[in-house]
Structures are given as structure tokens and as C-alpha cells.
Amino acid sequence: MSFTLEDLTLGDVEDVEKYAGQPLASLADASSNKGRLMTALAWVIKRKEDPKFSLEDAKKMPMGDITKLLNSEDEADPTQE
């Protein structure tokens, strides 16, 4: 599944921000804490494929899998090379 931030619904963004305790825009802020934000993003992205995918499931994902999931946005756009 190819993912871009534009695929997120407003409800997804609310869920991410509520769990992370920070705005989605802080993903670009090098000084912000990313753990909860990355967990929440993995959760909302994966639940699009599997509605039963839980926040607890996202917490169990290896960092490599989360990184690949979040980096799929760059891979989906050939102009990013």
C-alpha cells in the first residue's frame, strides 16, 4: 500500500494528534519527540488496511517497519528522487 499524508482523513489527524499530544506538523520539527507521533501514524495507516489493527498492535511494530511505512510517501512520488 502506498501512503501519502493526503490519504489521512480529518478523523485520522485528530486521532494522531490526540494520542501524540502534539500537532501532526511537528513531524517536520527535528526537536520534537517522535515516538508517540510515529506510533499514532502507524496505527491510522495500518488500520486503513485492517480495521482491527489497534494502537497496541502499532506499539509492537519494529522501528524498521514503521520507518518503511512512513517513507512509502517518498517512494510513491517519482519526483522525490
Q: Measured between alpha carbons, how far is residue 9 from residues 42, 49, 51, 78 in Å? A: 14, 14, 14, 24
Q: Each residue of 12-64: pLDDT tens digit? A: 999 999 999 999 999 888 888 889 999 999 999 999 999 999 999 999 999 99
Gap between the Cα atoms of 4 and 11, Å rounded:
15
Write down the pLDDT at residue 73. 54
56 Ramachandran zone, left/alpha/beta (phi>0; psi -120 to 50): alpha
For residue 75, pLDDT over 80 is answered with: no
